[in-house]
Amino acid sequence: MAARFARIAVGNGPRPYVKLTLNVSVFAPAGSAAPCSTLASGDLINLQLVLTGRSGEPVDVHLTTHGQKSSVQARLELEAATLGLTGCVFARVPSEYYDQSLEWRRDQLGAASVEHLCKSIIMENTRFDPPARGVPVVAGRVKYVLVVVQYVQKLHKERLAAAVRSLEGDKAVGKNHYNMRLIDGALSDAMSGFEHNAVTPLGLATPMPIIVHSAIAKLPGGHFWLGGGEVDLKLRFDTAVFLEHFKPVVADVCG
């Protein structure tokens, strides 16, 4: 292990306002012949940033990253570039990300607000398949749909069902033939190709319609954050580019 230490005093006068201490530790992969003082591709880097004010109480910020991108990030970046999805930004977050508040997550990503933090979930119409209610399966019907919603909002199943019916157009059936439910984890993993808290429309394993909550399309700044293919990888989409490429139904599905 190699460690470098930097201490910087910020402020004027004999008593600085803030003392900044940066500790950098480099861990070579097991079995690596590279000297610890040399950063090689694949090495694990641990950064500890300590800010100490005049009160003497430190605030620690820990950042963990790797010397190279993961295969998932590289694949999704390539796919975004191939599809012309400009404005995509990937960000690696700490492992405790989902144990923290939305405000903490917002600050980690540098998001404009907690309203910009969104998730992708796969919902199923459990009354779709015959012979449950005698509805024949026909082209144009929708059983599974990917829903993009903000963390600060609560999904409204009846409004979602109405949005699904609008997707189906003239193939839609009576309202009593719709019951939208979140699919279980194993099925979500298989259909999306991503694990829980990592689902993203980009590179989705199973093509399906997408519904975006209407408030997301109106967010200031013209972007929003979603999962990025890995639990600790987040992806910022340009809203206009996302809507143009994925052509989702934009509807009020929360309340």
Q: What is the pTM of this model?
A: 0.73
* Euclidean distance between CA atoms 112 and 225, whole angstroms: 10
**Which region among 62-71, 148-157, 180-189 has the lowest average model confidence (pLDDT)?**
62-71
Q: How confident is the model at residue 80 (pLDDT cuts 50, 70, 90)?
A: very high
Report the pLDDT averaged over residues 83-112: 96
Give per-residue pLDDT as tens, 192-239. Answer: 999 999 999 999 999 999 999 999 999 999 999 999 999 999 999 999
**Which of left, alpha, beta for 58 (phi over 0: left; psi -120 to 50: alpha)?**
beta
Amino acid at 58: P
pLDDT of residue 139: 79
Better pLDDT: 11 or 180:
180
Closest by CA position to 159, among listed 191, 108, 123: 123
Whether the Cβ atoms of residue 119 and residue 151 lie closer than 8 Å to each other: yes
* Residue 181 pLDDT exceeds 90: yes
Between CA 203 and CA 209, with CA 205 as vertex, the angle to 5 degrees is 85
Q: Name the pairing type of β-strands 210-213 and 144-150.
A: parallel
Better pLDDT: 152 or 48:
152
Q: How confident is the model at residue 70 (pLDDT cuts 50, 70, 90)?
A: very high
**Which of left, alpha, beta for 82 (phi over 0: left; psi -120 to 50: alpha)?**
alpha
- What's the mean per-residue pLDDT of the chain? 81
Q: Name the pairing type of β-strands 2-10 and 180-182.
A: unpaired
Report the pLDDT averaged over residues 145-172: 97
* Residue 157 pLDDT exceeds 80: yes
- For the chain, how are helix, strand and coil distributed in percent, rounded to 5? 25, 35, 40
Report the pLDDT averaged over residues 143-155: 98
Block residue for tokens 């298989």: 190
Q: What are the C-alpha distances in Å from 65 to residues 28, 107, 219?
A: 13, 17, 29
Block residue for tokens 């492992």: 95
* Euclidean distance between CA atoms 112 and 222, whole angstroms: 10
* Euclidean distance between CA atoms 94 and 233, whole angstroms: 9
* Residue 1 pLDDT exceeds 50: no
In three-state secondary structure terms, 246 is helix
Half-sphere exposure (CA, 13 Å, Cβ side) for 178? 22
